[in-house]
Amino acid sequence: MAEPDFIIPRTERTLAGFLTTRKAHLVAAKLARGGFAVLPSDTCYTLAALAMRRDTFRNVNTILNRGDEPMSLAFSSYLEVQRYVHLELLAQSILETFTPGPVTVVCSAHLSDNNTDMNIPEAFFVNVVGSNDRTIGVRIPDSLVERDIASAGGYPITSVAIRDSRGRAIRDFKEAVQIVSEGVIRLGGPGWVAVEGDHFEYDLSTVVAVERGKVRQIRAGAVPFGSIAALQNSIPTGAMDDWT
């Protein structure tokens, strides 16, 4: 078994549940070198990689033995979302209203006007998140740990649920570590770390898709879809030109 380079138990978190600054940067440094991290998310354990490498999508899928479905990205804050991608107004409104929280917004995106110095290639959508239609799944999780790591790394991270062979999302730390250990061997043994969670707030996160001012539900979850859909009426129709 490919053991993690180090484990951060929940007893080593701050009183408020955050990672210490030093530990957050240790994890972020591992990701910056192409490694991976098991992190507690809002609903289960996830596998994180820094969303900046051309092999991210392939490597994460190899470790988790998953198909070719696209991956969501976790950001540290709404301000960080604005730094990297420009979203249509309804998607922005959903993120502002319901996050941090258990909501993923899948929507068309292009590089932010503030992102001219980042030199992110167009291949980002295909090679990093596995999207062939220029959409991206955006999350700003309640998980303090995921937000800590995304902030410390200065870049969004992948947020892919760790599942067993039956598709069950994993909430047991030892089981999550075992699954990733086996996957790392398949990939060839890159460095990785694991952060133990405390508890999981939600059974499922809500996943919605936004396209030209309309929202549709992909998966029901903790946030009622009706509350999200109600935001459609708050977007002025005269802003349609800003959505493309």
Q: Is residue 244 part of a domain?
A: no
For residue 11, is it within any domain? yes
Q: How many domains in the chain?
A: 1
pLDDT reported for residue 186: 87
Q: Is residue 55 part of a domain?
A: yes
185 within domain boundaries: yes
- Would 242 be classed as within a structural domain? no
CATH at residue 96: 3.90.870.10
User: Which residues, given as ranges, of the chain have pLDDT below 50?
Assistant: 116-120, 238-244
Q: What's residue 234's pLDDT?
A: 76
Residue-level pLDDT at 143: 94
Domain membership flag for residue 35: yes
pLDDT, tens digit, 9 for 90 and up, residues 144-174 = 999 999 999 888 999 899 999 999 999 999 9
Residue numbers of the domain that contains 225 = 6-235
The pLDDT of residue 54 is: 77
The per-residue pLDDT for 170 is 97
Kindly state whether residue 240 falls inside one of the protein's structural domains: no
Question: Is 12 part of a structural domain of the chain?
Answer: yes
The 10 Å Cβ neighbour count of residue 180 is 24
Give per-residue pLDDT as tens, 112-137: 555 544 444 566 666 677 777 778 89
Q: Which of 74, 53, 28 is nearest to 191 (CA)?
A: 28
Contact 51, 131 (CB under 8 A): no
